[in-house]
Structure 1
Amino acid sequence: MSEKVMENNRVTVIGTIVSDFTFSHAVFGEGFYLVDLSVSRLSEQADVIPLMVSERLMDVTRDYRGCTIEADGQFRSYNRHEGVKNRLVLSVFVREVQFLEEFTDYTKTNQIFLDGYICKEPIYRKTPLGREIADLLVAVNRPYGKSDYIPCIAWGRNARFASGFSVGTRIQIWGRVQSREYTKKLSETECEKRTAYEVSVSKLECCQ
């Protein structure tokens, strides 16, 4: 059962480490740390994606900045309490990692597959230039009754197709993990720059 569940959430990212490790949490004496990975796009821009890494998988006391790695794992979420609100925090939970001497095929630096369920009505809209966009929230099951809640964004024909999904619809998604900066208004006079993480959909299928 757990192997099947693991197959419904698969991520591979290849990039350069651009931060030190910071402690996140411990489970049964095993420490988990966050580190940022810069993943290049074909457009020569880059997504900076947080990786959740076990201290048993990498030496978290070392400085790996500038090193190129390939990380395989799952895109996971958890709710962080901020005052009276919860904030959805996303990262790639790393299961395997390998260091690369060099890498040239930038078409394969960022790949994700999700098999889950629509858990919120899709939000469909058009940009001022007429481009179609749909925002989806997909629940992907994990073992032991847990789920990850993954924001996804679809474009064009995929957006129009996704706009007709109802809550509970099972879908499969192929795409890439992307980072996006936005400004959060905290009060009438105070704003804060934040980074959102989501799946940019390249292909999706309805399984019902």
Structure 2
Amino acid sequence: MTDKVIENNQVVVMGEIVSDFVFSHEIFGEGFYMVDVNVPRLSDSSDVIPLMVSERLLDVQEDYKGLNVMVQGQFRSYNRHEERKNRLVLSVFAREIEFVDETPESSKTNQIYLDGYICKEPIYRKTPLGREIADLLLAVNRPYGKSDYIPCICWGRNARFASNFSVGTRCEIWGRIQSREYMKRISDDDAEKRVAYEVSVSKLELVEE
């Protein structure tokens, strides 16, 4: 049963480590640390994706900046309470890490598969240039009654298709993890730059139950 649940959330990313390890939390004596990996896109841009790594998987005291890694794991979420509100924090939970000589410039450097349930009404819109977009929030089950809540963005025909999904609809999604900068208004006179993470969907299918 546990293996089946794990199969519903699969991530593979390849890229360059660009930060030091920063302590996140400890569970049953096992420490978890955050580190950033720069993952190239097919275009000249890239995504900086946060990894959560166990101290039992890697020596987190070492400096790995500039080294290329291939990471297999899951896209996880948790709610962090700040400013009297909950903020959804996303990262790739690393199950396996392998150092590689170089990062190939291909779509295989950033792949994700999710099997979950729509937990919020899809938001469908068009850009000023007429491009169709739909925002989804997917609940992906985890062992022991937990779930991860993953924001997903669909384009074109997929956006129109997904706009008709209702809450509770089960679907499979394939795509990549992307980072996006935005300005968060703190007060009338102040705003700060933040980074949001979401799944850019390349393919999605309904699952009949």
Task: Establish whether TM, by shorter chain, passes 0.5.
Answer: yes
In the TM superposition, what is the alpha-carbon distance from 1:60 to its structure 2 partner?
0.4
CA distance in 2, matches of 1:65, 1:102: 14
Q: How does 1:92-111 map to 2 (within 5 A)?
A: 92-111=92-111
CA distance in 1, matches of 2:156, 2:101: 38
CA contact (8 A) 2:121 2:167 kept: yes
Counterpart of 2:171 in structure 1 is 171
SS in 2 for 1:177: strand
CA distance in 1, matches of 2:183, 2:167: 29
CA distance in 2, matches of 1:199, 1:23: 25
In the TM superposition, what is the alpha-carbon distance from 1:106 to its structure 2 partner?
2.0
In the TM superposition, what is the alpha-carbon distance from 1:44 to its structure 2 partner?
1.5
CA distance in 1, matches of 2:171, 2:84: 32
SS in 2 for 1:129: coil
CA contact (8 A) 2:41 2:105 kept: no
Q: Deviations over 1:35-93 (max 9, x none)?
A: 00000000010000000000000110011000000000000000000031000000000
Q: Which ranges in structure 1 are unaligned for 5 or more consecutive residues?
A: none
Q: Aligned AA for 1:143? A: P
Q: Aligned AA for 2:173? A: I
CA RMSD between the two structures: 0.7
Counterpart of 2:51 in structure 1 is 51
In the TM superposition, what is the alpha-carbon distance from 1:105 to its structure 2 partner?
4.6
SS in 1 for 2:102: coil
Counterpart of 2:65 in structure 1 is 65
CA distance in 1, matches of 2:81, 2:175: 29
Q: Which ranges in structure 2 are unaligned for 5 or more consecutive residues?
A: none
CA distance in 2, matches of 1:104, 1:205: 28
SS in 1 for 2:107: helix
Instruction: Give 4+ residue runs of structure 1 displaced > 3 Å after superposition.
Output: none
Counterpart of 1:156 in structure 2 is 156
Counterpart of 1:134 in structure 2 is 134
Matched residue count? 208
TM-score, normalisation: structure 2: 0.98
TM-score, normalisation: structure 1: 0.99
In the TM superposition, what is the alpha-carbon distance from 1:104 to its structure 2 partner?
2.6
Percentage identity across aligned positions? Answer: 73
Q: Deviations over 1:1-45 (max 9, x none)?
A: 110000000000000000000000000000000000000000010
CA distance in 2, matches of 1:144, 1:14: 29
Q: Which is worse superposed, 97-106 or 131-140?
A: 97-106
Counterpart of 2:39 in structure 1 is 39
CA contact (8 A) 2:51 2:93 kept: yes
Counterpart of 2:121 in structure 1 is 121
In the TM superposition, what is the alpha-carbon distance from 1:195 to its structure 2 partner?
0.1
CA distance in 2, matches of 1:129, 1:105: 29
Counterpart of 2:186 in structure 1 is 186
